[in-house]
Structure 1
Amino acid sequence: MTSLLSPAGILLPESFLHSHLYAVLAAFVAVNTVMYVALAIAKTLPKIYPADFLPRRYQRAESRSIHPDDRR
């Protein structure tokens, strides 16, 4: 059985680490990691509903209640 490991324990030659393919692979892994972290953080935050920040159309300017202090 032939082993792919060299006596120093290195699987790939050093020339591969300086190749264009390795740089593209490293960039893909970096972007993937950043996206995974961003999604994990976004999932832990509470949900934000845009309607909570917009004025409601059905809210009256004045209370029409028989109780003048009732401001619902």
Structure 2
Amino acid sequence: METWGILFPESLLRSHAVAVLAAFVAINTVLYVALAIAKCLPKIYVQDWIGRRKQRSETRSIHPDGPI
């Protein structure tokens, strides 16, 4: 009696096409998990990490004691 596995013969399950498909599914799953985790994290703004050279050194407000 020949062993068939669950649905397909073993020769089909060990073929190159099934290995490529399994690799694609694995990469796709990891990518979607990474996107889901990134969506749960707070947003990161690049401007917060870069120095602010365009900020004025003194206030031009009508309230001179206000924040710079």
- For the superposition of Structure 1 and Structure 2, which TM-score range results when normalised by the shorter chain? 0.7 to 0.9
* Percentage of matched positions with identical amino acids: 60
Higher radius of gyration, 1 or 2: 1
Q: Which of the pair has the greater relative contact order for Cα pairs under 8 Å at 6+ separation?
A: 2
Matching of residues 41-56 of structure 1 within 5 Å: 41-56=37-52
Question: Secondary structure in 2 aligned to 1:54?
Answer: coil
Residues paired across the two proteins, number:
62
**Where in structure 2 are there 5+ consecutive unaligned residues?**
none
**Where in structure 1 are there 5+ consecutive unaligned residues?**
1-7
Q: Which runs of 4+ in 1 moved over 4 A?
A: 62-67
Cα RMSD, aligned residues only: 2.3
